Amino acid sequence: MSHVAEITRSLINEQSVMQFSKSKPWLKSLRSDGINAFIKDGLPDTNIENWKYTNLNQLNGVTGVRSPKVVVNKNQISWLLNEVETNQLVFVNGYFQEYLSKIIDVGQGIRIAPLCDELVNSDFIHNYLGKIGSTTGNPLFALNTAFIEDGCSIVVEDCKSVKPLEVIYISNGSNATCHHPRNIIVARNNAEINIIERHIGIGDEVYVSNGATEILAEDYSTINHYRVFDDAVNGINLSSVRAVVKDYSYYNSFVLSTGGRLNRCEINVACAGERANTSLSGVYIARDKQHMDHTTSIEHLVPNTTSVENYRGALDGSARGVFQGSIVVAEGADGTDGRMSNKNLLLSPKAEVNAKPQLEIYADDVQCAHGCTTGELDEEALFYLRSRGISEKNARAILVEGFLNEAFSGIQEQTILNVFHKKIRDWMVI
């Protein structure tokens, strides 16, 4: 048996699924669909095209045991948005922590709650949960589905959320356990919401956070989804987003990955409504032996939809960066406009980058393009800055920042932009 297959076995802990004995029948059946799909596919190995560059051997030693509920001190949390008032949700090892969270004045039409409450109180969430993403062919999403218990649930009706929502996921590793936070974000017709999501880790033990998020942007809605992966040194963060964008709606995702030993951030978006628009952008900065994998897929299913994708990476030490992007234009989806760009900087002789920007097009009246580069810092630009009395370290930092900034064009809010700039600068001076 291969290594990965062995790990799969240890992850299938049906005992854990059985624990949810009080659940409603629909939820039970959703979970068992998840575990069955996962048992069928198993953990993906590198023979699977989408996992060619990321070996889940790194999960060796990880068990299917759920991470325990732990108490975290309030001063261990720092919020990214200090200048503006936000609604705040905190999850520790996948469990909602009320004493750390703060939901103030959400306003009419906005429903923010921990998923565990939604699952107990009403069948309202039944309309969305498990309906947006599919477990077939997505083993990690399936695994998450098998263990649906808690996470963040946001449903916005016909209004604009006044305050941004900041969600923090804290992983406090012990004995290589896993947690599977499940989130759901729904913007009903004409709704608009800004969400900032941050993943952090405490301690230096191994943990696996296998999050999954289902996103639905209904007609004329906007979802701005900003995420920061700031995991602890030995943290493994696997996340999958499944989004469906309907008529005249906009899904805007930005991802900044800096932490963790292994980070796989997967985003699949379906532009399913006329004039749907998607923007995916991201920055990955890695050093030492970090491995960062950003895999995205945008499907244009109906005519006249657009997408823009822009990822930048800077890799130092023996870090490895992976970018796999795919634009799929279905038959009949005429008038599609899809653009993808991925640029990588190698800052050390041992850093490595693997990129696979794909186009798969079945309609003729389309405009699709992609560009991809890898290389090192421009010697001449470096020399120019040095000749003006800037130290080598600073000069490099200025150039790297300038290079990465190009991926920020999708961020509208200045306060959020400032946060990301600061994160990158902090990374540079370490």
Contacting residues toward another protein, per CB under 8 A: 49, 331-332, 344, 346-376
By beta-carbon proximity to another protein, the closer residue of 178 and 328 is: 328
* Region of residue 275 (left: phi > 0; alpha: psi -120 to 50; beta: else): left
By beta-carbon proximity to another protein, the closer residue of 12 and 347 is: 347
Closest separation between CB of residue 428 and another protein, Å?
17
Closest separation between CB of residue 369 and another protein, Å?
4
Which pair of structure tokens corresponds to residue 146? 């098998």
Closest separation between CB of residue 379 and another protein, Å?
10
What is the number of alpha carbons within 13 Å of residue 103 lying toward its C-beta? 16
Which pair of structure tokens corresponds to residue 296? 């995205």
Amino acid symbol at 90: V
**Measured between alpha carbons, how far apart are the two ends of the chain, in Å?**
42
By beta-carbon proximity to another protein, the closer residue of 225 and 343 is: 343
Q: How far apart are CA 120 and CA 64, in angstroms?
A: 24
By beta-carbon proximity to another protein, the closer residue of 203 and 303 is: 303
Residues 216 and 244 sit within 8 Å (Cβ to Cβ): yes
By beta-carbon proximity to another protein, the closer residue of 107 and 332 is: 332
Closest separation between CB of residue 426 and another protein, Å?
23
Closest separation between CB of residue 402 and another protein, Å?
18
Q: Which of 373, 405, 399 is nearest to 384 (CA)?
A: 399
By beta-carbon proximity to another protein, the closer residue of 340 and 411 is: 340
Closest separation between CB of residue 312 and another protein, Å?
15
Other Cβ atoms within 10 Å of 329 Cβ, number: 27
* Region of residue 136 (left: phi > 0; alpha: psi -120 to 50; beta: else): beta
What percent of the chain is helix, strand and coil (3-state, nearest 5)?
Answer: 25, 40, 35
